[in-house]
Amino acid sequence: MDVVILPDPAAVGSRAAHLIAQRAAADPEMVLGIATGSSPLGTYRELALLRAQGKATLDRLRCFALDEYVGLPDGHPARYAVVVADEVTAPLGLDPANVHVPDGSAADVHRACLDYEQALTAAGGVDLQILGIGTNGHIGFNEPISSLASRTRIKALSAQTRRDNARFFSSDDAVPTHCITQGLGTILDAQEILLMAQGPSKADAVAAAIEGPVTSMCPASVLQFHPRVTVLLDEDAASRLTLTDYYRFVADAEPLLVGENR
Ligand code: F6R
């Protein structure tokens, strides 16, 4: 795992966008796994800027979202299909036919989960997966005690996640109770993972995920099993880590480590 501590959220967004642009230059049709929520918004905006400046070619990317709420009506502004269309597909100039979000309004949600796994497999799997982290350590919507081997499925949201996400809804009660999310096993299948976190509210979850034991009580800790994870943090999100001097030393030595399993 590479842990990179950056001065502020803008630096996190910029570093992430440059990494994605670099991977897209090497493989213009790569499969990018996309997260929603606040954490990657700066990254998507920076990527759109790089594209406008002719420094990133993204139009052939294929994208799969991590998750979607169950039961929100078509066009609801908090629906991840809507957020992805507005924040990712349009600004990055992607072909909407290449952008996939789980179908949270499917009549048969279980079938929709299986179909999503199959679509991921048919696309050849995710090359680079973007992740945020919940204050309770979730990735995707894999809440604490999710199976570390889980696949895409319907999941009940925790009270903490519903409180955290109430800012996107008219009231706490308007937050859906269920979602479809890629599983932890699905996420681990990605070739490369880029997790980003900003702000003090993420500090405990980040420390537990990176330096704590692997436990389903902190689902993001399962990333310790993945050989190619980069974690981009601002100073606030990194504030509860204990090995910060080491992470800064390794980040400075980075050119020596390119291509290594971390
Ligand atoms: C969203 C997702 C979630 C968020 C997490 C952090 O697609 O999968 O895991 O990344 O809840 O949310 P923000 O970034 O809003 O703090």
What are 94-125's pLDDT values in tens digits?
999 999 999 999 999 999 999 999 999 999 99
> Does 260 map to a domain?
no
> Does 136 map to a domain?
yes
Return the CATH number at 220: 3.40.50.1360
* From 100, 117, 136, 142, active-site residue: 136
- Give how many domains the chain has, as a whole number: 1
Nearest residue by C-alpha to atom 3 in ligand 1: 140
pLDDT tens for each residue of 72-99: 999 899 999 999 999 999 999 999 999 9
What is the average per-residue pLDDT within 165-173?
93
Pocket of ligand 1 (CB under 6 A): 35-39, 66-67, 132-134, 138-141
> Does 104 map to a domain?
yes
> Does 119 map to a domain?
yes
CA angle (142, 137, 240) in 5-degree steps:
170
> Does 259 map to a domain?
no
Closest Cα partner for 87 from 102, 69, 101?
101
| For the CA of 202, the nearest atom of ligand 1 | 16
* From 143, 164, 165, 234, active-site residue: 143
Give the integer Cα–Cα distance in Å for 247 and 2. 7
pLDDT at 204: 98
User: Is the confidence at residue 252, as pLDDT, over 90?
Assistant: no
Nearest residue by C-alpha to atom 15 in ligand 1: 37
Domain assignment of residue 99, given as a range: 2-254
User: pTM score, two decimals?
Assistant: 0.96
Give the integer Cα–Cα distance in Å for 126 and 260. 20
> Does 39 map to a domain?
yes
> Does 128 map to a domain?
yes
Residue of 12, 32, 66, 187 to test ligand 1 pocket, by largest number of atoms within 8 Å of CB:
66
Higher-pLDDT residue of 25, 262:
25
pLDDT tens for each residue of 214-224: 999 999 999 99
Computed over every residue of the chain, the mean pLDDT equals 95
